[in-house]
A = this chain, B = another copy of it.
Amino acid sequence: MLQPPDRVLVAVSGGKDSLACWDLLRALGFEADGMVLGLGIGEYSEESTRYATAFAAARGWPLHVVDLRTRFGFDVPGAAAATRRAPCGACGLAKRHLFNAVAIEEGYDVVATGHNLDDEAAVLLGNVLHWDEEYLARQQPVLPATEGFVRKVKPLVRLSERETAAYCVLSGIDYQVEECPMAAGNRHLAYKEALNVIERRSPGTKAAFVAGFLARGHRRFAAEAAPPDLRACPSCGAPTTASECAFCRLRARAATARG
């Protein structure tokens, strides 16, 4: 997953998982810096950036602060309105694109995210419920680097959200407790709730679900996944299968709607 002298960019939200991840990687001796993305989701996003900034400042660790609105002229609520789709799609797209883009610009080898076991199990459940072959092929705690993409790792994927919360409490890490208000009622939360129903009846199911997928399920989907045919986005240079990358298309659409 990680090996010195890897330079790691930690995707930081100000919540317990990403701050615990950053803290642990530093404790393990990695050169790990943070990046927080201003999503423009009102007070929630402002608070998120405040927690990340305070955490970094108290430790003297470098934090890249990128604001969607300032730098790209749109925000997540605007993108959701322009595309008339759920905000989580635009948010995830912007995060994937920009953490990777900044990692490449700033010479990091890896992007680390704080996804915990509960997140991973819920995403896996969604992918399995839809038998989404492409997503199942890509769902791994380590995605190797490919042309135009740095490596992506999820170091906390074996820890439950209670464990990362406990780690923060024990380590004196002050984190944003509030959940994103735009995520309320989204599918991912329904998957989490469903898994919690089962976990209460059969503790350990989530861990067995994710571990079993990696041991016995994943290879059955990975084998057939054809490598995509990528070209450089003419606007930003990011690899894409389309004539312009999805982030630049989103940005253009959100900007048009605004103007």
Contact = CB atoms under 8 A, between A and B. Distances in A.
Interface of A: 128-131, 133, 185, 187, 190-191, 193-195, 197-198, 200-202, 205, 208-209, 212-213, 215-217, 220-221
Given A187-B202, A202-B187, A221-B220, A131 B197 contact: no
Nearest to A186: B201
| Main secondary structure on A side of the interface with B | helix
A249 to B, nearest CB: 26
Chain copies in the assembly? 2
A205 B131 CA distance: 11
Nearest to A213: B131
10 contacts: A128-B217, A129-B208, A130-B212, A131-B213, A187-B198, A187-B201, A187-B202, A190-B200, A191-B198, A220-B220
Contact of A198 (B194, B200, B202): B194
Q: Which of A187, A198, A221 has the most CB of B within 10 A?
A: A198
